[in-house]
């Protein structure tokens, strides 16, 4: 029996490594902690302390795990997952021990005092931390760079420019850098400011009478005598000549002193109208990263994270229902979560799938976007015809347009690969390949991300 368990552990460790090639990081918390406790007749028994893990794996990763077993062992291995509440308690205790080991009472109290002080002094919101930022394919690079900046501010990636649509987590990531720095670099001075607030403060200082030179010097030192400056929504600086001049000199002062600058915007520096060339080139001289709308698995993970933080029991099918119907941004997901959880609390009714459907009425309210509409818009965008997309032609432009159409159809409508294949007159494995190819390329291909952004706008899908 001991040998079987040892073999199971070795196989499972190899399977996990294999799964890292195909499974998104948002699913790691459900798969990686699984513990092999039995291996008999080519069937492995895995133990989990999270009942939610069983549903996630069954719904999204069952075949991937089966394929990984075959890749590792060369034969068909079945598996079953059992939930153990004692295991759940053990995992919680282990986490608490780790926290106590690395953060003694005095350190924790000092950090919390610093956080409370800096929340007021630096204008930070305590809820925006790395711990509750859900990482997915849509934000993996931005998160990694932001965390690197937080760990070693002023050392690399300076300035850091984060761009993306509304509600995708730009402010969350930016403020998470500030919170991490407060905790781990307590001597550093951090300041967060929204561009609109900066503009208003500048205007008020210019309008006031008295000694304007002294007042402006104080205003400038407020933002230049810091170690990390966080400027949110820089796009609002456009057309404001005096503000751009002040930000330019503030930027140069901090940069030349080796201080960290982090900037967010809803667009690339080159796409901000009237932004001066000298500011644009400075914004681009460090690293520019973007945030995209979260995919289905990431949206489910975000909802589960919200539920866990609020200690609310939200079944997997409810998370999936919300995630499939609200796919624009994280802020929208949070709003929907707050709505259904509030109605459930006030009414005293359990948060079931039927309850969520009754409250949200997605089927009645949601605009029906068809595969035909998506295909037509993609064809027009790439200057090909709908007939081309259904043909056997494999030119780069036609293939790209077809693959993007398949990806958007799958993400937007949830249609099966078989049905998508019927529309494009292709076999469903080809549709699966098209979807996975675009999903993979979106991680590194900025041009493709911009293409999808424009196509979604044409389809009137909010970003």
Identify whether residues 32 and 165 lie together within a single domain: no
For residue 97, being part of any structural domain is answered with: no
Q: Which residues of 25-37 are buried (b: 16+ CB within 10 A; e: fewer)?
A: bbbebbbeebebe
At 59-108, the pLDDT tens digits run 788 889 999 999 998 999 999 888 876 655 655 555 455 445 444 555 55
C-alpha distances in Å from residue 182, one per residue of 161, 187, 435, 438: 21, 8, 42, 39
Identify whether residues 265 and 316 lie together within a single domain: no
Closest by Cα among 231, 127, 116, 232 to 182: 116
331: number of Cβ within 10 Å: 14
Identify whether residues 346 and 277 lie together within a single domain: no
Residue 175's pLDDT is what? 93
Tell me how far apart the alpha carbons of residues 403 and 454 are, in angstroms, rounded to a whole number. Answer: 16
Helices (DSSP H) in 259-414: which residue ranges? 277-283, 296-309, 316-325, 330-347, 353-360, 362-365, 371-381, 386-390, 396-413
For residue 277, being part of any structural domain is answered with: yes
- Extract the tokens encoding 151: 């760990």
Residue 310's pLDDT is what? 83
At 379-388, the pLDDT tens digits run 999 999 999 9
Where a domain ends, among 89, 120, 155? 89
For residue 100, being part of any structural domain is answered with: no
Max alpha carbon distance in the chain (Å)?
Answer: 87
Residue 427's pLDDT is what? 87
Where a domain ends, among 316, 337, 365? 365
Tell me how far apart the alpha carbons of residues 248 and 253 are, in angstroms, rounded to a whole number. Answer: 9
Closest by Cα among 439, 127, 128, 146 to 294: 439
Strand ranges inside 184-225, DSSP E: 190-194
Identify whether residues 163 and 195 lie together within a single domain: yes
For residue 329, being part of any structural domain is answered with: yes
Residue 210's pLDDT is what? 59
Identify whether residues 53 and 134 lie together within a single domain: no
For residue 75, being part of any structural domain is answered with: yes
Identify whether residues 147 and 233 lie together within a single domain: yes
For residue 54, being part of any structural domain is answered with: yes
CB-count exposure of residue 75 (10 Å: 0-12, 13-18, 19+):
exposed
- The domain that contains 402 carries what CATH number? 1.10.1750.10
Identify whether residues 172 and 66 lie together within a single domain: no
Residue 121's pLDDT is what? 65
Identify whether residues 231 and 260 lie together within a single domain: yes
Where a domain ends, among 241, 274, 291? 291
Residue 142's pLDDT is what? 92
Identify whether residues 215 and 121 lie together within a single domain: yes
Closest by Cα among 230, 229, 154, 151 to 184: 151
- The domain that contains 75 carries what CATH number? 3.30.300.180
**Count of structural domains, the chain:** 4
Residue 132's pLDDT is what? 85
Q: Residue 229: which H helix or E strand, with range?
A: strand 228-232
At 16-41, the pLDDT tens digits run 999 988 887 767 778 888 888 888 88
Percentage of the residues of the chain whose pLDDT score is greater than 70: 88
Tell me how far apart the alpha carbons of residues 51 and 455 are, in angstroms, rounded to a whole number. Answer: 39
Residue 376's pLDDT is what? 93
For residue 94, being part of any structural domain is answered with: no
pTM: 0.63
- The domain that contains 315 carries what CATH number? 1.10.8.60
Domain range for residue 310?
Answer: 296-365
For residue 99, being part of any structural domain is answered with: no
SS3 139: coil
Identify whether residues 153 and 198 lie together within a single domain: yes
At 144-187, the pLDDT tens digits run 999 999 999 988 899 999 998 888 899 999 999 998 888 888 78
Identify whether residues 145 and 283 lie together within a single domain: yes
The strand pairing partners of 78, in sequence order, are: 43
- The domain that contains 169 carries what CATH number? 3.40.50.300
Contact 51, 13 (CB under 8 A): no
Identify whether residues 198 and 243 lie together within a single domain: yes
Chain centre distance of CA 277: 31
Regions of the chain with pLDDT less than 50: 1-2, 95, 98-99, 101-103, 462-463
């Amino acid at each position: 029996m001991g040998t079987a368990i040892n073999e199971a552990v070795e196989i499972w460790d190899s399977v996990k490594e294999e799964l890292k090639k195909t499974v998104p990081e948002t699913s790691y918390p459900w798969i990686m902690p699984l513990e092999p406790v039995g291996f008999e007749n080519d069937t492995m028994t895995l133990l989990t302390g999270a009942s939610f893990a069983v549903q996630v794996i069954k719904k999204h990763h069952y075949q991937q795990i089966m394929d990984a077993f075959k890749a590792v062992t060369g034969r068909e291995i079945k598996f079953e997952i059992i939930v153990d509440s004692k295991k759940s308690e053990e995992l919680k205790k282990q986490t608490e021990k780790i926290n106590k080991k690395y953060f003694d009472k005095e350190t924790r109290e000092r950090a919390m005092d610093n956080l409370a002080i800096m929340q007021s002094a630096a204008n930070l919101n305590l809820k925006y931390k790395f711990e509750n930022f859900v990482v997915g394919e849509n934000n993996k690079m931005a998160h990694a760079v932001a965390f690197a900046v937080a760990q070693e501010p002023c050392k690399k990636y300076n300035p850091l420019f984060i761009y993306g649509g509304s509600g995708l987590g730009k402010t969350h990531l930016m403020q998470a850098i500030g919170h991490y720095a407060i905790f781990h670099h307590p001597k550093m001075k951090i300041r967060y400011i929204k561009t609109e607030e900066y503009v208003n403060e500048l205007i008020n200082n210019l309008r006031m009478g008295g000694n304007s030179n002294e007042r402006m010097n104080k205003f400038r030192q407020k933002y230049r005598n810091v170690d990390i400056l966080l400027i949110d929504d820089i796009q609002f600086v456009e057309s404001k000549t005096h503000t751009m001049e002040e930000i330019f000199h503030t930027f140069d002062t901090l940069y030349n002193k080796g201080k960290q600058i982090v900037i967010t915007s809803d667009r690339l520096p080159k796409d901000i109208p009237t932004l001066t060339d000298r500011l644009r080139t400075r914004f681009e001289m460090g690293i520019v990263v973007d945030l995209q709308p979260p995919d289905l698995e990431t949206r489910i993970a975000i909802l589960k994270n919200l539920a866990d933080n609020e200690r609310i029991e939200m079944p997997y099918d409810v998370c999936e229902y919300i995630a499939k119907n609200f796919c624009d941004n994280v802020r929208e997901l949070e709003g929907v979560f707050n709505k259904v959880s509030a109605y459930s609390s006030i009414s005293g009714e359990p948060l079931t799938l039927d309850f969520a459907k009754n409250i949200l009425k997605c089927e009645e309210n949601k605009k029906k976007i068809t595969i035909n509409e998506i295909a037509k818009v993609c064809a027009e965008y790439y200057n090909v015809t709908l007939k081309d997309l259904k043909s056997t032609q494999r030119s780069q432009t036609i293939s790209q347009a077809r693959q993007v159409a398949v990806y958007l159809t799958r993400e937007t409508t949830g249609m099966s690969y078989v049905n998508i294949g019927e529309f494009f007159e292709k076999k469903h494995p080809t549709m699966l390949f098209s979807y996975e190819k675009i999903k993979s390329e979106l991680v590194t291909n900025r041009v493709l991300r911009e293409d999808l952004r424009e196509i979604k706008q044409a389809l009137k899908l909010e970003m």
